[in-house]
């Protein structure tokens, strides 16, 4: 289930970068945190960049 959540988070990040017409995403970082017993969240961070 965590693998699926990581894939969903990554897909959302890519989709947002595409909406901004970015050429790449750099400095990608994943973060997880337990929000309650038997539940966790996955966040992915990255910087969308546009080449000149």
Task: Give residue-wise pLDDT tens across range 1-52.
Answer: 889 999 999 999 999 999 999 999 999 999 999 989 889 999 999 999 999 9
Which pLDDT does position 50 carry in this prediction? 96
Which pLDDT does position 18 carry in this prediction? 97
Which pLDDT does position 12 carry in this prediction? 96
Which pLDDT does position 2 carry in this prediction? 87
Measured between alpha carbons, how far is 32 from 3 in angstroms, rounded to an integer? Answer: 12
Which pLDDT does position 22 carry in this prediction? 98
- Per DSSP, the three-state class of 22 is coil
Measured between alpha carbons, how far is 46 from 9 in angstroms, rounded to an integer? Answer: 11
What ranges in 1-52 are assigned the alpha helix state H? 2-19
Which pLDDT does position 51 carry in this prediction? 95
């Amino acid at each position: 289930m965590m693998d699926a959540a990581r894939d969903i988070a990554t897909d959302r990040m890519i989709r947002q970068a595409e909406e901004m017409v970015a050429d790449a995403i750099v400095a990608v970082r994943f973060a997880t945190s337990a929000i309650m017993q038997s539940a966790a969240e996955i966040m992915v961070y990255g910087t969308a960049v546009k080449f000149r």
